[in-house]
Amino acid sequence: MEDKDIILEAMKKAGEPLNATKVAELTGLDKKAVDKAFAAMKKEGLIVSPVRCKWEPAAK
């Protein structure tokens, strides 16, 4: 499973917008890895930011 998949799964389970630190806590991934994945996920349109500095899965 890729970091992106792990992050999306954690975000869906949380049911609320999360910041990178919280995602790192929930997934056990390094915060730098989460930040890098977030950057790629933003470009791909997989996540959106409803609140400043917090992210959630984009509605498909």
> Is this structure's pTM higher than 0.85?
yes
Q: What is the pLDDT of residue 60?
A: 60
- What's the CA gap between 14 and 36, in Å, rounded? 20
Counting the structural domains of the chain, the total is: 1
Tens digit of pLDDT per residue, the chain (60 long)? 899 999 999 999 999 999 999 999 999 999 999 999 999 999 999 999 999 999 999 986
- What's the CA gap between 32 and 12, in Å, rounded? 21
Listed residue (52, 11, 58, 12) closest to 34, CA to CA:
11
Q: What is the pLDDT of residue 1?
A: 81
- What's the CA gap between 7 and 29, in Å, rounded? 9
CATH number for the domain including 12? 1.10.10.10
Domain hosting 46: range is 3-57
